[in-house]
Amino acid sequence: MRIEEHPILKFDRGKKITFYYNGEKIEGYENETVAEALHAAGIRRLGYSPELHRPRGLFCAIGNCSSCFMTVNGEPNVRVCVLKCAEGMQVEEQQSKGVVKI
């Protein structure tokens, strides 16, 4: 669900784009974050805690915590709460601590 109108805020979402989350096609907008687009698509769990494997969802939405770490285009530990959507982007849930590929 997206807020379409607000009495004070104005939304400039930009053009509609498509990206992939765990292989599933998701629609978003170029000026919204990946976490926003996933939330609007009904996806509330963004991953699991690395040690206890408890589900994690959007928490701070400003890039300070680690609740939204995901693998984006093969790069682990990307904070999707501050990453803007891009056409064709591949986003995957991380099941454990991300390991940087060298």
pLDDT at 47: 83
Neighbours of 76 (CB within 10 A): 16
pLDDT tens-digit series, residues 48-98: 877 787 888 888 888 888 889 999 999 999 999 999 999 999 999 987 665
pLDDT at 51: 78
Is the model's pLDDT at 45 over the cut of 50? yes
Residue with tokens 């991380």: 94
pLDDT tens-digit series, residues 5-33: 778 878 788 999 999 999 999 999 999 99
Q: How far apart are CA 98 and CA 89, in angstroms?
A: 18
pLDDT at 98: 55
pLDDT at 102: 44
Domains recognised in the chain with CATH numbers? 16-93 (3.10.20.440)
pLDDT at 96: 63
